[in-house]
Amino acid sequence: MTDLTRTMSIDNALIKALHYTDQIKPASQVTFDLAQQEQNLYRLRQRLLDTLNTLSPEQAYLTLYDCLFRHVSIALLTQGYQLTARQPHQTLRRIVRQSAPDTQVQQMIAHRHAIKKTAGSLDCEKSIATLTKLLNDYDIRDAQACQTLCLLPIQSIVRSSVSS
Protein backbone atom coordinates (compact mmCIF):
# COMPACT_ATOMS: atom_id res chain seq x y z
CA MET A 1 0.00 0.00 0.00
CA THR A 2 1.36 3.41 -0.92
CA ASP A 3 0.95 6.72 0.87
CA LEU A 4 -1.80 7.52 -1.64
CA THR A 5 -4.15 4.77 -0.42
CA ARG A 6 -5.38 3.90 3.03
CA THR A 7 -7.70 1.24 4.36
CA MET A 8 -10.04 2.86 6.84
CA SER A 9 -10.96 0.89 9.91
CA ILE A 10 -14.65 0.72 10.73
CA ASP A 11 -15.53 0.94 14.41
CA ASN A 12 -16.31 -2.49 15.93
CA ALA A 13 -19.48 -1.21 17.61
CA LEU A 14 -20.72 0.02 14.24
CA ILE A 15 -19.83 -3.32 12.65
CA LYS A 16 -21.92 -5.11 15.30
CA ALA A 17 -24.84 -2.71 14.83
CA LEU A 18 -24.78 -3.09 11.03
CA HIS A 19 -24.60 -6.87 11.37
CA TYR A 20 -27.49 -6.86 13.84
CA THR A 21 -29.67 -4.92 11.36
CA ASP A 22 -28.63 -7.23 8.48
CA GLN A 23 -26.98 -4.39 6.56
CA ILE A 24 -23.72 -6.34 6.51
CA LYS A 25 -22.92 -10.02 6.90
CA PRO A 26 -19.79 -12.10 7.44
CA ALA A 27 -17.93 -12.50 4.16
CA SER A 28 -17.65 -16.10 3.02
CA GLN A 29 -15.02 -15.57 0.29
CA VAL A 30 -12.94 -12.62 1.47
CA THR A 31 -10.03 -13.10 -0.95
CA PHE A 32 -12.27 -13.55 -3.99
CA ASP A 33 -14.62 -10.70 -3.03
CA LEU A 34 -11.70 -8.40 -2.26
CA ALA A 35 -10.18 -9.09 -5.67
CA GLN A 36 -13.54 -8.38 -7.33
CA GLN A 37 -14.00 -5.08 -5.47
CA GLU A 38 -10.47 -3.99 -6.36
CA GLN A 39 -11.10 -4.91 -10.01
CA ASN A 40 -14.36 -2.92 -9.95
CA LEU A 41 -12.51 0.06 -8.48
CA TYR A 42 -9.87 -0.23 -11.19
CA ARG A 43 -12.56 -0.26 -13.92
CA LEU A 44 -14.26 2.80 -12.44
CA ARG A 45 -10.95 4.66 -12.39
CA GLN A 46 -10.28 3.67 -16.00
CA ARG A 47 -13.66 5.09 -16.92
CA LEU A 48 -12.65 8.41 -15.33
CA LEU A 49 -9.41 8.46 -17.32
CA ASP A 50 -10.86 7.51 -20.70
CA THR A 51 -9.98 10.45 -22.93
CA LEU A 52 -11.96 9.06 -25.87
CA ASN A 53 -15.16 9.03 -23.83
CA THR A 54 -14.92 12.06 -21.55
CA LEU A 55 -17.44 12.06 -18.72
CA SER A 56 -19.66 14.99 -17.86
CA PRO A 57 -19.26 16.35 -14.30
CA GLU A 58 -22.51 14.53 -13.41
CA GLN A 59 -21.24 11.20 -14.77
CA ALA A 60 -17.92 11.73 -12.97
CA TYR A 61 -19.79 12.38 -9.69
CA LEU A 62 -21.76 9.15 -10.07
CA THR A 63 -18.59 7.21 -10.94
CA LEU A 64 -16.68 8.65 -7.98
CA TYR A 65 -19.63 7.92 -5.68
CA ASP A 66 -19.36 4.32 -6.89
CA CYS A 67 -15.63 4.45 -6.10
CA LEU A 68 -16.51 5.46 -2.54
CA PHE A 69 -18.81 2.44 -2.35
CA ARG A 70 -15.95 0.18 -3.50
CA HIS A 71 -13.61 1.69 -0.89
CA VAL A 72 -16.16 1.07 1.87
CA SER A 73 -16.74 -2.48 0.60
CA ILE A 74 -12.98 -3.12 0.66
CA ALA A 75 -12.74 -1.74 4.21
CA LEU A 76 -15.57 -4.05 5.29
CA LEU A 77 -13.97 -7.04 3.59
CA THR A 78 -10.65 -6.41 5.32
CA GLN A 79 -12.61 -6.71 8.57
CA GLY A 80 -14.34 -9.90 7.38
CA TYR A 81 -17.73 -8.45 6.39
CA GLN A 82 -19.59 -7.51 3.24
CA LEU A 83 -22.57 -5.34 2.36
CA THR A 84 -25.98 -6.92 1.94
CA ALA A 85 -28.68 -5.67 -0.43
CA ARG A 86 -30.54 -4.18 2.54
CA GLN A 87 -30.35 -0.38 2.38
CA PRO A 88 -26.87 -0.10 0.87
CA HIS A 89 -26.88 3.72 0.70
CA GLN A 90 -28.00 3.97 4.32
CA THR A 91 -25.26 1.52 5.26
CA LEU A 92 -22.74 3.67 3.42
CA ARG A 93 -24.13 6.69 5.26
CA ARG A 94 -23.71 5.06 8.65
CA ILE A 95 -20.14 4.06 7.89
CA VAL A 96 -18.89 7.34 6.45
CA ARG A 97 -20.51 9.40 9.22
CA GLN A 98 -17.31 8.63 11.10
CA SER A 99 -15.60 11.15 8.79
CA ALA A 100 -18.23 13.74 7.84
CA PRO A 101 -21.33 15.28 9.43
CA ASP A 102 -24.49 13.29 8.79
CA THR A 103 -26.34 16.18 7.15
CA GLN A 104 -23.54 16.57 4.60
CA VAL A 105 -23.48 12.83 3.91
CA GLN A 106 -27.27 12.80 3.47
CA GLN A 107 -27.01 15.72 1.05
CA MET A 108 -24.28 13.93 -0.92
CA ILE A 109 -26.42 10.78 -1.20
CA ALA A 110 -29.56 12.77 -2.09
CA HIS A 111 -27.62 14.61 -4.77
CA ARG A 112 -26.49 11.28 -6.23
CA HIS A 113 -30.11 10.10 -6.35
CA ALA A 114 -31.24 13.36 -7.97
CA ILE A 115 -28.63 13.04 -10.72
CA LYS A 116 -29.33 9.36 -11.26
CA LYS A 117 -33.13 9.48 -11.21
CA THR A 118 -33.94 12.79 -12.87
CA ALA A 119 -30.86 13.47 -14.98
CA GLY A 120 -30.26 16.45 -12.71
CA SER A 121 -27.30 18.73 -12.95
CA LEU A 122 -24.32 18.76 -10.66
CA ASP A 123 -24.77 22.10 -8.95
CA CYS A 124 -24.05 21.46 -5.30
CA GLU A 125 -20.49 22.27 -4.30
CA LYS A 126 -21.16 21.03 -0.74
CA SER A 127 -21.98 17.54 -2.02
CA ILE A 128 -18.83 17.51 -4.13
CA ALA A 129 -16.77 18.73 -1.17
CA THR A 130 -18.19 15.97 1.03
CA LEU A 131 -17.51 13.32 -1.59
CA THR A 132 -13.98 14.68 -2.07
CA LYS A 133 -13.29 14.56 1.68
CA LEU A 134 -14.61 11.01 2.02
CA LEU A 135 -12.64 9.80 -1.00
CA ASN A 136 -9.52 11.43 0.46
CA ASP A 137 -9.92 9.17 3.51
CA TYR A 138 -9.31 6.21 1.19
CA ASP A 139 -7.26 7.41 -1.77
CA ILE A 140 -5.98 10.90 -2.49
CA ARG A 141 -6.03 10.24 -6.25
CA ASP A 142 -9.80 9.68 -6.19
CA ALA A 143 -10.24 12.88 -4.17
CA GLN A 144 -8.16 14.80 -6.71
CA ALA A 145 -10.23 13.31 -9.54
CA CYS A 146 -13.38 14.52 -7.79
CA GLN A 147 -12.03 18.06 -7.59
CA THR A 148 -10.80 18.04 -11.18
CA LEU A 149 -13.77 16.35 -12.86
CA CYS A 150 -16.64 17.64 -10.71
CA LEU A 151 -15.76 20.78 -8.79
CA LEU A 152 -13.62 22.71 -11.27
CA PRO A 153 -16.15 22.50 -14.15
CA ILE A 154 -18.92 23.81 -11.87
CA GLN A 155 -16.78 26.66 -10.59
CA SER A 156 -15.89 27.68 -14.15
CA ILE A 157 -19.59 27.65 -15.11
CA VAL A 158 -20.45 29.82 -12.11
CA ARG A 159 -17.58 32.23 -12.89
CA SER A 160 -18.61 32.53 -16.55
CA SER A 161 -22.26 33.17 -15.66
CA VAL A 162 -21.28 35.83 -13.10
CA SER A 163 -19.04 37.65 -15.59
CA SER A 164 -21.75 37.66 -18.32
What confidence category does residue 163 fall into, taking pLDDT thresholds of 50, 70 and 90?
Answer: very low
Q: Which of the two residues, 17 and 120, has the higher pLDDT score? A: 17
Residue type, 1: M
Q: Tens digit of pLDDT for each residue in 40-85?
A: 999 999 999 988 888 888 899 999 999 999 999 999 999 999 999 9
The Cα–Cα gap between 121 and 12 comes to 37
pTM above 0.85, yes or no: yes
The set of residues, in sequence order, having a beta carbon less than 8 Å from that of 36 and lying 6+ positions away, is none
Average pLDDT over residues 122-150: 90
